[in-house]
Amino acid sequence: MAVRKIVVLGSTGSIGTQTLDIIERLGQERASVVGLVAWRDSELLKEQARRWGLPSERVVSVEREGSEAMTRLAVLDEADTVVMAVAGAAGLAATLAACKAGKRVCIATKEVLVAAGELVTQAAKDGGAALLPIDSEHSALFQCLAGYDYSLIDKLHITASGGPFRTWEKERIASATVDEALNHPTWRMGGKITIDSATLMNKGLEIIEACWLYGVGEDKVEVVVHPQSIIHSFVELRDGALLAQLGLPDMRLPIQIALLHPEKVDTGIPRLSPTQMRDLTFEAPDHERFPAITLARQAFRTGGTAPAILNAANEAAVGAFLEGKLRFGQLATAVEGALGSIPVTDADTLEKITLADASARRFVREHF
């Protein structure tokens, strides 16, 4: 098999470091790193560059060089695979460029498809790019749907851990601290996605993402709370068959699947044993305590730039919460306010999406 030549966008984050671990496990005969992008010019980025013997022009700090440099590496001639693991919508332009260049684009960043799902999927189609999900839930759907036409989908059931506040009363959730919100019960992730898990906004974003990846309406995507995080998603087919993908709460398997599909290689990562699955429980999400899923559905149904507004307002609100400028209970309120105040336009150009994104962030800054 040919060696995969991989650019990792977001190499110092949780997904980026786990991606590099998988590449290391695969060995030089199967995969190599040809470019690295991180938000900051950190010691870890320098260490990664040394490990993979990359020249300075193949190592980008967005903070120092700007997002244009990230796009430059995303279309690198030598690269056949681009891992998009930059948090938030910051990697949208680079993702579009990689799709247009016909790369294998492995997406771990929900926000890219949420803000610009139509643009990204069309760019992938036009450029002949392969668009593969790294999210554990969407990787599970992808695996369950292997060999099936997507027109046979009756329902997609995305599982959620429920986050740290699954059993809390509404009033207590509203006053939760940053430390409490970051204390996820099963996953270890970056700050932004961990807060999204606490609000269940991550599931709202995943609903929109699923609609674009699998060509279904939001009415065909459901969320089920599964605290053990063993079953990552279910696919319900037209005949009633219910298919599930199971695994440990470890992102390395979804990453490996996205990098290698359809190859299957043993890289020695931990495996789930059937004897570990003694008590698996499921429940419906409480939309009154966690309104984010409802807001995401409304944004998708509205269409146009509404999902971009939802995403940007949420990013801005989460950032403000992590900085102590906004209470946990205000997160959904800020998003709802932006959706109700900012005019929605068509989302047929990157410029329109970027404008909606900026307007939503400004709304949150000025009102919260």
DSSP string, 50-87: HHTT--GGGEEEHHHH-HHHHHHHHT-TT-SEEEE--S
Domains in the chain, ordered, with CATH?
A: 4-133 (3.40.50.720), 135-250+271-288 (no CATH), 303-368 (1.10.1740.10)
- pLDDT tens column, 221-252: 999 999 999 999 999 999 999 999 999 989 99
- pLDDT tens column, 145-192: 999 999 999 999 999 999 999 999 999 999 999 999 998 777 666 788
Cα-atom radius of gyration of the chain, to the nearest Å?
20
Q: Report the pLDDT averaged over residues 82-95.
A: 89
Q: Report the pLDDT averaged over residues 45-67.
A: 93
* pTM for the whole structure: 0.94
Whether the per-residue pLDDT at 41 is higher than 90: the answer is: no
Please report the pLDDT score of residue 39 as a whole number: 87
Q: Is 211 left (phi over 0), alpha (psi -120 to 50) or beta?
A: alpha
Whether the per-residue pLDDT at 94 is higher than 70: the answer is: yes
Please report the pLDDT score of residue 148 as a whole number: 96
Using CA atoms, how far apart are residues 211 and 217, in angstroms rounded to an integer?
6
- pLDDT tens column, 249-295: 899 999 999 999 999 999 999 999 998 888 899 999 999 999 999 99
Please report the pLDDT score of residue 193 as a whole number: 84
Using CA atoms, how far apart are residues 140 and 134, in angstroms rounded to an integer?
9
Using CA atoms, how far apart are residues 156 and 291, in angstroms rounded to an integer?
20
Whether the per-residue pLDDT at 214 is higher than 70: the answer is: yes
Please report the pLDDT score of residue 251 as a whole number: 94
Using CA atoms, how far apart are residues 129 and 5, in angstroms rounded to an integer?
15
190 SS3 class: coil
Tell me the β-bridge partners of 245.
233
